[in-house]
Amino acid sequence: MTQQDSVIVSENAQDTSGGVMVVENGGDPSLLAPLPPNKALHRPVSVQGVMEHALQHRERVGVQDFVLLEDYRSEAAFIDNLKKRFNENLIYTYIGNVLISVNPYKNLPIYTEEKARLYYKKAFFEAPPHIFAIADNAYRSLVYEHREQCILISGESGSGKTEASKKVLEYIAARTNHLQNVETVKDKLLQSNPLLEAFGNAKTHRNDNSSRFGKYMDIQFNYEGAPEGGHILNYLLEKSRVVSQMPGERNFHIFYQLLAGGDEELLRQLKLQGRPEAYKYTTDMMSHQSQKANDVEQFRAVRDAMKVIEISEVEQKAIFEIVASVLHLGNVKFVTNDKGSAEILSHDANSGNVGELLKVNPTKLREALTSRTIEARGDVVNTPLDLGQAQYARDALAKAIYDKHFSWLVARLNASLLPKSFDARSSVIGILDIYGFEIFPKNSFEQFCINFCNEKLQQLFIQLTLKQEQEEYLREGIEWEPVEYFNNIVICDLIEAKLIGIISILDDECLRPGGATDASFLEKLNMRLDKHAHYKSHRKSDIRTQKVMGRDEFCLVHYAGEVTYNVSTFLEKNNDLLFRDLQSLMCTSGNNIVGDCFKDLDLRSKKRPETAITQFKNSLNELIKILSSKEPSYIRCIKPNDFKAPMQFDEKLISHQVKYLGLMENLRVRRAGFAYRRTYEAFLERYKCLSAETWPNFRGPARDGVQKLVEVLKYEKEEYRMGNTKIFIRFPKTLFETEDAYQI
């Protein structure tokens, strides 16, 4: 279908015209009001009351693109527009080419095959705002214009990022249905989700299926536009969840799924009793029963996914042995002996089970859990651990095994998603589903990492969108007008600058032999950064606003707002220590996955392994490099309430997110230039009826037709620009007036 003969369906025409209303020829749904029933658009028309109808419509369901909002600086108007649309089940709205999505917390009939077809080969303005429009646009730019794409999805926990990423994947799978021989690849791509979610997602207060890791997935296409493979990068699994969870939350799904869904024989082999209450790491009693049926079902889905991904029976067994051994490890109990050191009771079966499942020497395992070998000036000394240290070692081992095995699983998926043959002409669409900005009552090392990641992505957003804008102006031969905006590079530098940034100071403290503590780290921060405009020490506590900071806290003024971090455990988490004895023991594991995961750690190397934050920083910079080389699309997800409930729109909660997502700034920058642009063909097609000179058909180039139209419509010189292929309109008001003229 070409643009000329395209059919436009107004997104909520159903409620006014009693059936889906089809408007002929090149309409514009971001403005389009459905006409009253039976008023066909044959020109010229004069329908009394139509204009009023158009205004009423806009009043009721808001505008589909925020750039058309008259009062674009007002957050209240912004939220009001979102609310109007949300109440009409219209969860998508654009800011230019950024898609805002509000989680409906209910299944809407907007993802059907029929709906999907509406977006095939359509320009943004040809169909109502939708995630499918983003997906289709990315797909077409890739296949027809050979520009690599990435879709960046952000938003807070529970806002719908993962669901959005799945919709993109599903759309692309459906979109490429006509192409041959891609079924297996598509199945594998689609099945990677349930598998990764089982191991990397968990029930939290904010989301029953919360992703506890960041994910970037490339879908690789061959020259015909058929998916031929994929690649996943994973970021920062929340491994602390393996050993403890907040009351009412759960460990990673797979533990419960295995216990509920594993058959008798499997559980016997793994020495497991089928009850999560029996294990310390899964003891939260509250929600198990109600979720059991679901866990059983999901376990089946995981096993099916493993089959599709071609994970062999032997590998599956090794994976479940790891999951089970983590559970057994959590139950290993220590007592203090008469020398004050930790000991494992001789009748304790748990450590024996771990030894057996991981195929390591059980005596050595007990030793490694209760003592430590230290090399000092060539002497090797074995020191016993006290109770606290032994518990720490046990939990550190459980976290390390689970974390490494998760990364192994991603690598295994990648091996399965590798294209069958090398094709230099292939290209990718990347999808990023990564944690949004976090501000909790108490923020720690994890929030620091996550918020740093969001600063970097915001920086990329600024660079790429401004670049995109500038390039479009250049392409169209329109003079670029500089736009003022807040550049958060100062905050990125504050965090990651060499030698003087927070990460550098933290690493120095972690590497400093003897005496370094969380407190000494904070003292250095305060000493060196107190004058920085985006850093606040407790000395800068503002008593008037009741923002009184503790002496173990510092505050960063992020682009999205102020966040106070508590430094307690920063050093420990950054060092991420696993005692060497446990590491060397795991290298000897007869469980192939564990053996593989630990063998790369070179124990003889004198060089210290990179700290957690430095590893994260490096992988983030890698990611930014990958994304910078692609053309981005943005999806900003919003959570409408804290109760996972449909039809509830909590304005205060949403206002916070509008700030964290930088949406007002985004809109302001978009409006600072020419808010609205349209190809000459599309503009002429829609408005040609407004002048006798262009109606019914304009003979000549579309640009000349548009020129005629703007003269007839009496556009002021400042209101518009004529580019090489598009007309640029500065104020939405101009367009609305044109639109209203059109409606009459």
Determine which helix (DSSP H) or strand (DSSP E) holds 175, and give its type and residue range: helix 161-175
* Smallest separation, CB 228 to Mg ion (Å): 26
Q: Given candidates 26, 34, 96, 160, which one binds ligand ATP under the rule CB under 6 A? A: 160
Residue 447: CB partners within 8 Å, gap ≥ 6?
A: 438, 439, 440, 563, 565
Q: Tell me the backbone φ, ψ of residue 260, rounded to 5 degrees.
A: -85, -35
Span interacting with Mg ion, options 76-84, 160-168, 497-505, 593-601, rule CB under 5 A: 160-168
105 binding ligand ATP? (CB under 6 A): yes
**What's the per-residue H, E or C state across 425-439?**
CCEEEEEEECCCCCC
Q: Applying CB under 5 A, does 16 fall inside the site for Mg ion?
A: no
157 interacts with ligand ATP by CB under 6 A: yes
CB 428 within 8 A of CB 219: yes
Q: List the strands of the sheet with 535-536, edge to edge.
A: 535-536, 553-558, 561-566
Give the x-and-dash track for 191-210 against ligand ATP (CB under 6 A): ----------------x-xx
The item of ligand ATP, Mg ion, none sharing an interface with residue 725, based on CB under 5 to 8 Å by kind, is: none
* Catalytic center residues: 157-158, 162, 207, 210-211, 436, 438
Q: Which is nearer to Mg ion, 433 or 509 (CB)?
A: 433
Distance CA 588, CA 358 (A): 9
Nearer to ligand ATP, 298 or 504 (CB): 298
Does residue 657 interact with ligand ATP by CB under 6 A?
no
Alpha carbon separation from 432 to 59, 155, 456, 518, 633 (Å, rounded):
35, 12, 13, 33, 10
By beta-carbon proximity to Mg ion, the closer residue of 121 and 166 is: 166
How wide is the angle at C-alpha 176 spanned by C-alphas 174 and 181, nearest 5°? Answer: 115
- Binder of ligand ATP out of 34, 155, 430, 662 (CB under 6 A): 155
Q: Which is nearer to ligand ATP, 128 or 160 (CB)?
A: 160
162 binds Mg ion, rule: CB under 5 A: yes
Find the angle CA(403)-CA(404)-CA(410) to the nearest 5 degrees. 95
- Options 30, 64, 103, 657; binder of ligand ATP; rule CB under 6 A: 103
What SS3 string covers 428-495? EEEEEECCCCCCCCCECHHHHHHHHHHHHHHHHHHHHHHHHHHHHHHHHCCCCCCCCCCCCHHHHHHH
Residue 211 vs 282, nearer CB to Mg ion: 211
Query: For residue 537, what are its two tokens?
Result: 């020490």
Query: How many other CB atoms sit within 10 Å of the CB of residue 120?
Result: 15
Judged by CB under 6 A, which of 3, 41, 104, 655 binds ligand ATP? 104
Residue 157 contact partner, candidates ligand ATP, Mg ion, none, CB within 5 to 8 A by sort of partner:
ligand ATP
Q: Alpha-carbon dihedral of residues 684, 690, 694, 697, nearest 10 degrees?
A: 80
427 in contact with ligand ATP (CB under 6 A): no
CB of 560 to Mg ion, least distance (A): 19
| Interaction of residue 211 with Mg ion, rule CB under 5 A | yes
- Three-state secondary-structure class, residue 106: coil
CB of 648 to ligand ATP, least distance (A): 13
Cβ burial 681-710 (10 Å sphere, 16+ → b, else e): bbbbbbbbbbeeebeeebeeebbebbbbbb
Q: Tell which phi-psi region holds residue 141, choosing left (phi > 0), alpha (psi between -120 and 50) or beta.
A: alpha
Q: Which of residues 9-38 bind ligand ATP (CB under 6 A)?
A: none
Site string for ligand ATP, 114-153 (x = CB under 6 A): ----------------------------------------
* Nearest distance in Å: CB 536, Mg ion: 31
Q: Taking a C-beta distance cutoff of 8 angstroms, is the pair 129, 610 a contact?
A: no
- The residue count for binding Mg ion (CB under 5 A) is 3
Binding segment for Mg ion (CB under 5 A), chosen from 154-162, 178-186, 191-199, 396-404, is: 154-162
Check if the beta carbon of residue 601 is closer than 8 Å to that of residue 582.
Answer: no
Q: How far apart are CA 453 and CA 158, in angstroms?
A: 18
Nearer to Mg ion, 85 or 161 (CB): 161
Instruction: Give whichever of 52 and 642 is closer to Mg ion, judged by the CB atom.
Output: 642
| Token pair for 702 | 């579309």
Nearest approach, Cβ of 626 to ligand ATP (angstroms)?
A: 21
Q: 209-238: which residues touch ligand ATP (CB under 6 A)?
A: 209-211
Which one-letter amino acid corresponds to residue 72?
Y
Window 84-123: contact mask with Mg ion (x via CB under 5 A)? ----------------------------------------
In contact, 314 and 193? CB cutoff 8 Å: no
Closer Cβ to ligand ATP, 163 or 523, answer by number: 163
Question: Exactly one of 75, 88, 163, 386 binds ligand ATP (CB under 6 A); which one?
Answer: 163
Residue 629: C-alpha distances to residues 149, 154, 217, 611, 625 (Å): 9, 19, 15, 28, 7
Task: Report yes or no: 370 and 382 within 8 Å, Cβ to Cβ.
Answer: no
CB 329 within 8 A of CB 353: no
The binding track of 628-647 with respect to ligand ATP, each residue x by CB under 6 A or -, is ---------x----------
Nearer to ligand ATP, 170 or 343 (CB): 170
- Residue pair 364/582 in contact (Cβ under 8 Å)? The answer is no
User: Taking the complex as a whole, how short is the minimal distance between the CB of residue 103 and Mg ion, in angstroms?
Assistant: 11
Q: Which is nearer to ligand ATP, 103 or 222 (CB)?
A: 103
Q: 201-202 and 210-211: which strand pairing?
A: antiparallel
Which range touches ligand ATP (CB under 6 A), out of 99-107, 224-232, 604-612, 728-736? 99-107
Among 161, 203, 250, 394, which residue interacts with ligand ATP (rule: CB under 6 A)? 161
Using CB under 5 A, list all residues that contact Mg ion.
161-162, 211
Using CB under 6 A, list all residues that contact ligand ATP.
103-105, 107-108, 155, 157-163, 207, 209-211, 435, 637
